[in-house]
Amino acid sequence: MIFVDRPVGIDLGTTNSEIAILDPSERDLLVYADRFGRRTMPSAVAWEPGKGELLVGRAARNRRGKEPPPVESIKRRMGQTGTVAVGPLQLTPEEVSARMLAELARSMRAHLSEGAPPEMEVRVARAVITVPAYFDAPQVEATRRAGELAELEVLGVLQEPTAAAIYHTWKEGLGDGTFLVYDLGGGTFDVSILRCLGGEYQVLALDGDNFLGGDDFDRRYAERLRQRLVATGYALDLDVRENPADAERFQRLVHLAQDHARTAGLLRLSTLRPTHETWSPGNTRVEQGISAVGDRSQVAAFGMALVSESQVRLTSFSTESIEGGLLRVTASIDVLLGKEPSR
């Protein structure tokens, strides 16, 4: 029997998570994608009372609005004591995260095993897990423990901005230098300045908002879409911005529409009358939408404050990297840098 056991990298996110492995050619990363091409897995765990079992990922998120609801954003509770209710179960944040890590590893293992010869056994047993730069020692240790509960050998727990800098250094063939990293995920927003010297990475300064992310922008655009539908005659008596229950229902419709679009009609919507509404907001409107939430984000202001704090001159950056949803929304960073950042 031939064994293939290559370590994987896991981004255990607040809203979505993903797993990747270095391509055998060592020239690029292989990011797991399901049969519909979706590369991220919702960071959600739920109890299915009908089958008496735990659901993880997209199946868990689809239980939004049902009883019992899914557990989400558990990343914000890592390192804390106490448990959360997942149906009849009481699980620690580490145990909830372990379920997600195990599902990611299982998916990657199944993907790599496809087409492998019978005499080859593919193992996904070793992993590096990324965490935000602001995670303290208990939060880092909780993440490591979650990996162990998922039966993974945790080779390391790496700060997310450091991981981004390492990747861009490797991908672009860069040497030592100073890096400015923006990371706007589904639930958090971080800005970091790092320095690489002799292959060693040091975080010089960091800032951000632990409760701001793409979900905030989704909610705002959900309300704009509702207004457009109402204006065309659809009866949508929802208050997406102020009523949490209405926001939850409309968000489920948004996710259903997104999945339906990605799967090219493979999802059957037999109980619904389909409504097709095409709206391309364009980059300018996206910027305007973010600026409406932007009193909290202050994208460029965060970066400028860090530049001042770290005493690094703005012109001395070797490269600027943006991660997450911010890849598509860069005007505010362009103003700060005077040039387009790396992606």
Catalytic residue among 11, 72, 94, 216: 11
Residue whose C-alpha is closest to residue 10's, from 106, 114, 133: 106
Catalytic residue among 18, 72, 75, 103: 75
C-alpha torsion sign, points 233, 237, 240, 241: positive
| Alpha-carbon torsion angle 23, 29, 33, 35, nearest 10 | -40
Rounded Cα gap, residues 16 and 103, in angstroms: 13
Catalytic residue among 72, 160, 190, 323: 160
CB 210 within 8 A of CB 237: no
Is 246 marked active-site? no
Catalytic residue among 72, 95, 103, 183: 183
Is 171 marked active-site? no
Is 209 marked active-site? no
Three-state SS for the chain is CEEEECCEEEECCCCEEEEEEECCCCCCEEECCCCCCCCCEECEEEEECCCCEEEECHHHHCCCCCCCCCEECHHHHCCCCCCEEECCEEECHHHHHHHHHHHHHHHHHHHHHCCCCCCEEEECCEEEEEECCCCCHHHHHHHHHHHHHCCCEEEEEEEHHHHHHHHHHHHHCCCCEEEEEEEECCCCEEEEEEEEECCEEEEEEEEEECCCCHHHHHHHHHHHHHHHHHHCCCCCCCCCCCCHHHHHHHHHHHHHHHHHHHCCCCCCCCCCCCCCCCCCCHHHHHHHHHHHHHHHHCHHHHHHHHHHHHCCCHHHCCEEEEEEHHHHCCHHHHHHHCCCCEC
Residues with active-site annotation? 11, 75, 160, 183
